[in-house]
Amino acid sequence: ESAITRPKGYTVSFHCNPDMEKHHFGMTHPMKPWRLTLSKSLIYSYGMSFAMDNYIARAATYEELADFHSTDYLDFLGTVLPEPVPRDLENQNPDLRFNLGGSDCPLFEGLYDYCSLSAGGALDAARKICYKQSDIAIAWGGGLHHAKKAEASGFCYINDIVVAILQLLRFHPRVLYIDIDVHHGDGVEEAFFSTDRVMTVSFHKYDPNNFFPGTGALDDNGPKNEQNPGAHHAVNVPLNDGITDEQYDMLFNTIVGRIVERFRPTAIALQCGADSLAGDRLGRFNLQVQGHGACVEFCKKMNLPLILFGGGGYTPRNVARAWTYETSIAIGCQEKISPMLPQHAPWRQQFRQDTLFPTLEQILGEPRQNRNPQKRLQDIVQHVTEQLRFVQA
């Protein structure tokens, strides 16, 4: 077996900061920054760091965050201290400023550092792309797509993706944002609602009354008035429980292929939330590591500057598998790495099975029922195709 070597003709950069991983949302909170440690350790165990430029992410500055976020919100975020909240009062406090301090977005020790390191990694990645020093830049600590200008939402406080895309827009005329997290990428969509320089497309579980955040219907495509240049520039792909690799990849390739043809982006930002994998604590899909990774592979084949962000992912062993496989795709060594996990990988017992590609049976016992009839998927493709007639690069 030969060592993993640098890809010929292009550069991959990897942006992370171990200080981000030590933060805790709370014992039983689903978001575990520690999953970044597990992911990185598997990536390093495969020897992939030798094939990339590795950077310790810096903290984003206040001014950089203020490119998107309101200063009122940032000032508050920078000064609030965690207050122990009695368990039975959690999420019932009517005085939550900026949606901070509830059970989804708790206040914890070092919150502002955690947020600014996540955004710092995303910004470093964006700058490497802008200055053409990387062809693919990876920021697994980013991808926090729900945060709003002046509000925390769904485990997200600072929208590192929006801040990074704003950086890309200084050099790139058109940016395509793609979101394969199981949740709707509402914060990013909303931030770019009124520009035709960013197209957003999110694939997500959609059930307005029972699944967070409840937005992202097929016909929510941006404010529909002729004055708004951003009209038609939001694509939503609402899905149901149990979608499979085969169906997802058909949809992804068809829809993203057509968008790239029509919109002609000059850079792509891909949010790789791993909660769309089978067996995720919060997710509902039947995707395997292969199917999730196929989305990254498809984007890479577009031959455009590419940023890979992390995002959701609540079963750490599967998050680590997916982001390891996707790092290997970025480097182009996916055929070369062993599908058996390296013997010496730290936390080896965390992974349960010794393969990078567990089967659905191994993950779930019994796969979740697929509630995505083929006819519905065809209707989605047709809607998007018609929507794209209004889009012109």
Q: Which residues participate in catalysis according to the annotation?
A: 184
Q: Which is nearer to ligand ZL4, 8 or 87 (CB)?
A: 87
CB of 216 to Ca ion, least distance (A): 8
CB of 362 to ligand ZL4, least distance (A): 23
Does position 91 interact with ligand ZL4 (CB under 6 A)? The reply is yes
Distances (CA, A) of 12 to 237, 289, 292, 326: 29, 21, 20, 12
Does position 181 interact with ligand ZL4 (CB under 6 A)? The reply is yes
How many residues bind ligand ZL4, per CB under 6 A? 22
The two structure tokens encoding residue 201? 């497309």
| Beta strand 267-271 pairing with 234-239 | unpaired
- Applying CB under 6 A, among 35, 40, 174, 183 the residue interacting with ligand ZL4 is 183
The two structure tokens encoding residue 49? 């760091």
Binding-site partner at residue 202 among Ca ion, Zn ion, ligand ZL4, none, CB < 5 to 8 Å by type: Ca ion
Does position 121 interact with Zn ion (CB under 5 A)? The reply is no
CB of 50 to Zn ion, least distance (A): 31
Residue whose CB is nearest to ligand ZL4 in the complex, by number: 312
Distances (CA, A) of 382 to 73, 144, 389: 41, 30, 11
Which 194-233 positions form the footprint of Ca ion (CB under 5 A)?
202, 204
45 Cβ neighbours under 8 A, 6+ residues apart: 341, 342, 344, 345, 346
Which 303-332 positions form the footprint of Zn ion (CB under 5 A)?
312
Which among 186, 128, 134, 127 has a CA at the least distance from the CA of 156?
Answer: 186
CB count within 10 Å of CB 388 equals: 18
Q: Which is nearer to Ca ion, 348 or 383 (CB)?
A: 383
Which 162-221 positions form the footprint of Zn ion (CB under 5 A)?
181, 183
Does position 273 interact with ligand ZL4 (CB under 6 A)? The reply is yes
Distances (CA, A) of 223 to 175, 193, 230, 238: 19, 7, 7, 18
Binding-site partner at residue 179 among Ca ion, Zn ion, ligand ZL4, none, CB < 5 to 8 Å by type: Ca ion
**C-alpha angle 83-89-92 in degrees, rounded to nearest 5:** 105
**Interface segment toward ligand ZL4; rule CB under 6 A; list 35-43, 125-133, 149-157, 322-330:** 149-157
Sheet holding 306-309, edge to edge: 53-56, 12-16, 136-139, 306-309, 267-271, 175-179, 198-205, 234-239
CB of 138 to Ca ion, least distance (A): 19
Residue ranges binding ligand ZL4 (CB under 6 A)? 26, 28-30, 90-91, 103-104, 144-146, 154-156, 181, 183, 212, 273, 275, 282, 311-312
Residue ranges binding Zn ion (CB under 5 A)? 181, 183, 273, 275, 312
Residue ranges binding Ca ion (CB under 5 A)? 179, 181, 185, 202, 204
